[in-house]
Every structure is written in structure tokens, then in C-alpha cells.
Amino acid sequence: TPECFLFDKDGKLVYHGAIDDNPNDASAVNRKHLTEAINELKNGKEIAVKESRSVGCTIKRLK
């Protein structure tokens, strides 16, 4: 269940979503959403993709 949250230095959420655009086949990834957002943040640029759909299910707490 890869769902990422990226915050800037002030604690503002700047990216939320999937690691990349192909959760099923790493060799077929076209865009690495999280990597791109980190690079844009580091370089002081506007985050191009602020949100993407992540695939998976919720993690349940055992009682």
C-alpha cells in the first residue's frame, strides 16, 4: 500500500499519492511522481503534480 506524503520545511503538504505511475511494473514507469516532487521541492520549483492516485488497500490494526 504505497501512499506517500511529502511536506515542505514549514510542514505544508506538497505532494500526496503514488510513488510512480505504474505500481504493477517497475520497468514500465513513465513518471516517478515522488522523485519528481522531491527534486522540484529541493530546487525551489512549483510541484507540477501535487496529487496522484495510489493503488492498494488500507492497513488494518490488529486488536
pLDDT at 13: 98
Query: Could you give the number of structural domains in the chain?
Result: 1
Strand 4-7 relative to strand 13-17, pairing: antiparallel
Q: What is the pLDDT of residue 63?
A: 79
Low-confidence ranges of the chain (pLDDT < 50): none
Give the pLDDT confidence score for residue 6 in this predicted structure: 98
Task: Region of 11 please: left (phi>0), alpha (psi -120 to 50) or beta.
Answer: left
Number of H helices, E strands in the chain: 1, 2
3-class secondary-structure state, position 6: strand
The boundaries of the domain holding residue 42 are: 1-63
